[in-house]
């Protein structure tokens, strides 16, 4: 009887596919967008009362008005000096001084219930940008506000679809093409509304996030002003206790943006304007140390009431894990007091801080690859807090830090090299796991342009059922997480950014986040922490401490494979048998797929890697897929003919980008 030939697809197909996607070429990059690029915000004015931004005077001074006293202040960006006006000034007079009018009658019909909250004409007098409040009623809260553009030369009316629910302010660039817009992204922990800054291209109809930071919180229509020469954008940046104004240096440059939304019914593009002068920006350098206050903590990790700073000799929970308090999870093999001589403390991030943070935020029983992702997220979160000038503490309001956590990992072992614990020769297995997680040293960055990037506010939470949720940053978008669909999956925490248990599921290729929770295999497994991070944080790059970028612009991830066999495992196929397989793939890169991306398989190879069939079969993804979004694609797979008895073959997959027929490149 002739030996029956069976072709087997290896169960690690997802692993192979994703290795190629992260390590492959970046492909032919999409065209750079030439637009205004903003540098880091600089606080230029602060006072207890709210500050209103009237606008720029013809002599280059920025006019500010105290919200309570109506006292005018003039800021000189060249000298950095503030000067008080002699007499108070009304808001309408301030607007007149800077060439603005407080009320512009709409030249197009508007329904009686539509209120114009703010309106400004472009510098060339062609387009009126207005903030509308449709459905607003006198004496009632605004249900929403929106951006409308009216082209006086054509009579065309344009609206910004899928915009933030509330648009609070706008300011025209001097080229009459770009419009700076503030849209509320949420309310911060201090109770102040936070707004995302967008750039709206009124010629192409695209809107783009302009800065990663959030601003706003002042009076609507009094938060933005663009200098006439295009070199500065003034924006309100208050806190809960004081009014503040920031300046963003502006330059005309190139970057690859992530579209935020699209304006409908816009005019065709017109010739590009003359660019304003270019201003330099600073390159971000990661810090080596972190300063934080260390408090006694509750069982849940919050600061204990009344707030009590740890002092030398304290053996309270939060000051040390080797504590002596009943009803707290103290490690009771010994009692060791708070180890620092002062409070706050300044300690190395890599060799001290992260070694205690990572095992507190994510237990060592989770998959080692997920712990690498956790270390990168924790590092990025710390970098961002330092960058923002936040006051940092050891509670879960920031991220948990308790002295001696690393040393307490069972069985407790104190490194024989305390200055560099991971170089010690007496570490236990769990300590080695944490050191391996921290060792790669990379962090999550958000690129404003190829030359300017900042650490991401890398929020993370315990778990999210099927999907994470949107956060207040452009890279904190809700993403599909189908592996978190059973076993121990739950909605734990705020569900923004990385799901810790989801990260471990992807690393295990299992719907159960760790071995003790059970075994429920999934159709995809990822063995690189960069895959996890680019899945949960959208449109970001990963960088090392020297600033080198570790990720290409175009990336993808398989989220699920439906083999049409009733199993998550690859089926056994007969020679030349064809099977239609459906892949759920996610755009994990920074650029939108616009119909030029294809899912392709390059053929088959033996288990040793020798190619058997190298002809490429492609299925083009015609839809537009934004960063973070996912799509389902069905691909016909035909097994190769038998070449030798009982030989097993492995499928070779990747994504391809075809730029206008100029050739294909792996993503």
Check residue 606 and give left, alpha or beta (phi > 0: left; psi -120 to 50: alpha): beta
User: DSSP secondary-structure letter at 353?
Assistant: I
Q: What is the predicted pLDDT for the residue at 24?
A: 36
- For the beta carbon of residue 332, count every other beta carbon within 10 angstroms: 9
Q: What is the predicted pLDDT for the residue at 370?
A: 97
- What mean pLDDT comes out for the span 646-660? 64
Cα–Cα distance measured from residue 193 to residue 239, given in angstroms and rounded to the nearest whole number: 9
Cα–Cα distance measured from residue 176 to residue 228, given in angstroms and rounded to the nearest whole number: 11
Query: Structure tokens of 128?
Result: 């009126």
- What mean pLDDT comes out for the span 3-24? 30
- Positive or negative, the CA dihedral 389, 394, 395, 396 is positive
Is pLDDT above 50 for 297?
yes
Strand pairing report for 611-613 and 597-606: antiparallel
Residue in this structure with the two tokens 């389902």, named with its chain if needed: 632
Task: Let me know: does 370 contact 376? Beta carbons within 8 Å.
Answer: no
Percent of the chain with pLDDT over 70: 81
Query: Structure tokens of 498?
Result: 């990385």
Which range has the worst mean pLDDT, 198-212, 434-448, 486-500, 653-667? Answer: 653-667
- What mean pLDDT comes out for the span 343-360? 96
Find which of 166-175, 522-531, 637-646 is predicted with most confidence, using mean pLDDT. 522-531
Query: Structure tokens of 286?
Result: 């990661």
Find which of 25-39, 222-236, 308-322, 592-606 is predicted with most confidence, using mean pLDDT. 308-322
Q: What is the predicted pLDDT for the residue at 608?
A: 74
Task: Let me know: does 294 contact 345? Beta carbons within 8 Å.
Answer: yes
Cα–Cα distance measured from residue 552 to residue 654, given in angstroms and rounded to the nearest whole number: 14
Cα–Cα distance measured from residue 349 to residue 379, given in angstroms and rounded to the nearest whole number: 8
- What mean pLDDT comes out for the span 594-617? 74
Cα–Cα distance measured from residue 640 to residue 578, given in angstroms and rounded to the nearest whole number: 10
Is pLDDT above 70 for 84?
yes
Is pLDDT above 60 for 665?
no
Which residues have CB under 8 Å from 405's CB, separation 6+?
321, 355, 356, 357, 359, 360
Buried b or exposed e, range 84-94, using 16+ CB within 10 angstroms: ebeeebebeeb
Strand pairing report for 443-449 and 541-543: antiparallel
Q: Which of 147, 136, 138 is nearest to 184 (CA)?
A: 147
Q: How far is CA 422 from CA 230, 266, 413, 427, 601, in A?
A: 51, 58, 12, 8, 42
- Positive or negative, the CA dihedral 124, 127, 128, 133 is negative
Which residues have CB under 8 Å from 229's CB, separation 6+?
60, 174, 276, 277
Length of the chain measured in residues? 667
Cα 425-439-212 angle, rounded to 5 deg: 155
Q: What is the predicted pLDDT for the residue at 14?
A: 32
Cα–Cα distance measured from residue 536 to residue 497, given in angstroms and rounded to the nearest whole number: 6
Q: What is the predicted pLDDT for the residue at 406?
A: 97
Cα–Cα distance measured from residue 248 to residue 530, given in angstroms and rounded to the nearest whole number: 32
Which range has the worst mean pLDDT, 4-18, 329-343, 388-402? Answer: 4-18
Task: Let me know: does 554 contact 667? Beta carbons within 8 Å.
Answer: yes
Q: What is the predicted pLDDT for the residue at 615?
A: 64
Q: What is the predicted pLDDT for the residue at 618?
A: 78
Cα–Cα distance measured from residue 364 to residue 408, given in angstroms and rounded to the nearest whole number: 12
Is pLDDT above 70 for 280?
no
Task: Let me know: does 323 contact 315? Beta carbons within 8 Å.
Answer: yes
Model confidence at 656, pLDDT cuts 50, 70, 90, reads: low
**pTM of this structure:** 0.68
- What mean pLDDT comes out for the span 236-265? 71
Helix residue spans in 463-571 (DSSP H): 500-508, 529-536
Q: Which of 336, 301, 292, 333 is nearest to 315 (CA)?
A: 336
Q: What is the predicted pLDDT for the residue at 243?
A: 84
Is pLDDT above 50 for 216?
yes
Task: Let me know: does 432 contact 354? Beta carbons within 8 Å.
Answer: no
Beta bridge pairs of residue 65: 52, 72
Cα–Cα distance measured from residue 188 to residue 513, given in angstroms and rounded to the nearest whole number: 31
Cite the residue boundaries of each domain of the chain with CATH code 2.70.50: 7-30+557-666
The class that CATH gives domain 7-30+557-666 is mainly beta
Cα–Cα distance measured from residue 104 to residue 100, given in angstroms and rounded to the nearest whole number: 10
Task: Let me know: does 636 contact 659? Beta carbons within 8 Å.
Answer: no
Which comes out higher in pLDDT, residue 448 or 431?
431
Cα–Cα distance measured from residue 288 to residue 327, given in angstroms and rounded to the nearest whole number: 36
Query: Structure tokens of 35?
Result: 């637009």
The CA R_g of the chain, rounded to the nearest whole Å, is 28
Q: What is the rounded average pLDDT for all residues in the chain?
A: 81
Is pLDDT above 90 for 287?
yes
Q: SS3 breakdown of the chain: % helix, strand, coil, rounded to 5?
A: 15, 35, 55
- For the beta carbon of residue 28, count every other beta carbon within 10 angstroms: 15
Cα–Cα distance measured from residue 660 to residue 641, given in angstroms and rounded to the nearest whole number: 34
Is pLDDT above 60 for 256?
no
Q: What is the pLDDT of residues 363-375, one digit of tens each?
A: 999 999 999 999 9
Tell me whether residue 138 is exposed, middle or buried, using C-beta atoms within 10 angstroms of its C-beta: 0 to 12, 13 to 18, 19 or more.
Answer: exposed
Cα–Cα distance measured from residue 31 to residue 568, given in angstroms and rounded to the nearest whole number: 39
Which range has the worst mean pLDDT, 68-72, 489-493, 606-610? Answer: 606-610
Q: What is the predicted pLDDT for the residue at 58?
A: 82
């Amino acid at each position: 009887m002739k030996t029956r030939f069976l072709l087997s697809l290896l169960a690690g197909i997802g692993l192979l596919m994703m290795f190629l996607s992260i390590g492959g070429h970046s492909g032919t990059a999409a065209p750079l967008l030439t637009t205004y690029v903003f540098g880091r915000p600089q606080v230029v004015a602060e006072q207890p009362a709210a500050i209103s931004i009237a606008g720029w005077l013809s002599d280059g001074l920025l006019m500010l008005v105290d919200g309570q006293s109506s006292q005018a202040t003039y800021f000189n960006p060249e000298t950095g000096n503030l000067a008080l006006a002699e007499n108070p000034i009304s808001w309408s007079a301030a607007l007149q001084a800077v060439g603005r009018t407080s009320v512009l009658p709409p030249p197009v019909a508007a329904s009686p219930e539509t209120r114009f909250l703010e309106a400004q004409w472009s510098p060339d007098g062609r387009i009126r940008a207005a903030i509308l409040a449709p459905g607003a009623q006198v004496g009632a809260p605004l249900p929403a506000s929106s951006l409308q553009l009216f082209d006086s030369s054509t009579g065309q009316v344009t609206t910004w679809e899928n915009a933030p629910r509330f648009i609070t302010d706008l300011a025209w660039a001097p080229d009459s093409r770009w419009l700076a817009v503030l849209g509320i992204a949420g309310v911060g922990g201090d109770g102040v509304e936070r707004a995302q800054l967008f750039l709206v291209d009124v010629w192409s109809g695209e809107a783009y996030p302009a800065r990663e930071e959030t601003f706003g919180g002042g009076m609507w229509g009094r938060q933005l002003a663009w200098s006439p020469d295009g070199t500065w954008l003034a924006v309100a940046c208050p806190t809960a206790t004081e009014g503040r104004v920031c300046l963003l240096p502006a330059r005309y440059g190139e970057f690859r943006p992530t579209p935020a939304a699209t304006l409908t019914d816009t005019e065709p593009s017109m010739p590009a304007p003359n660019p304003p002068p270019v201003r330099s920006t600073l390159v971000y350098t990661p810090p080596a140390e972190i300063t934080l206050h260390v408090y006694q903590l509750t069982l849940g990790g919050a600061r204990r009431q009344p707030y009590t700073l740890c002092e030398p000799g304290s053996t309270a929970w939060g000051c040390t894990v080797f504590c002596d308090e009943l009803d707290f999870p103290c490690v009771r093999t010994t009692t060791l007091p708070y180890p620092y001589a002062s409070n706050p403390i300044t300690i190395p991030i890599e060799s001290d801080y992260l070694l205690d943070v990572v095992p507190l935020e994510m237990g060592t029983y989770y998959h080692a690859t997920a712990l690498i992702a956790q270390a990168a997220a924790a590092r990025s979160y710390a970098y961002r807090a330092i960058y923002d000038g936040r006051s940092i503490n050891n509670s879960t309001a920031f991220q948990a830090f308790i002295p001696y956590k690393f040393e307490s990992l069972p069985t407790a072992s104190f490194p024989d090299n305390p200055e560099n614990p991971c170089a010690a020769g007496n570490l236990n297995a769990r300590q080695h796991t944490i050191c391996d997680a921290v060792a790669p040293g990379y962090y999550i960055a958000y690129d404003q342009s190829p030359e300017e990037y900042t650490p991401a506010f890398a929020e993370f939470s315990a778990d999210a059922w099927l999907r994470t949720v949107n956060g207040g940053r452009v890279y904190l978008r809700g993403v599909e997480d189908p592996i978190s669909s059973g076993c121990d999956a739950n909605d734990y925490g705020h569900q923004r950014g990385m799901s810790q248990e989801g990260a471990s599921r992807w690393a295990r290729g299992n719907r159960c986040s760790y071995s003790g929770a059970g075994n429920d295999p999934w159709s995809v497994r990822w063995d690189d922490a960069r895959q996890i991070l680019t899945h949960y944080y959208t449109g970001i790059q990963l960088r090392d401490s020297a600033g080198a970028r570790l990720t290409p612009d175009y990336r993808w991830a398989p989220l699920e494979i439906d083999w049409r066999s009733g199993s998550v495992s690859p089926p056994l196929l007969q020679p030349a048998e064809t099977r239609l397989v459906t892949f759920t793939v996610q755009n994990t890169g920074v650029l939108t797929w616009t119909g030029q991306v294809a899912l392709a398989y390059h053929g088959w190879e033996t288990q040793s890697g020798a190619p058997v069939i190298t002809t490429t079969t492609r299925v083009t993804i015609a839809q537009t897929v934004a960063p973070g979004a996912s799509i389902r694609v069905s691909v016909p797979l035909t097994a190769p003919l038998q070449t030798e008895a009982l030989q097993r073959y492995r499928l070779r997959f990747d994504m391809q980008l075809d730029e206008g027929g100029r050739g294909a490149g792996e993503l």
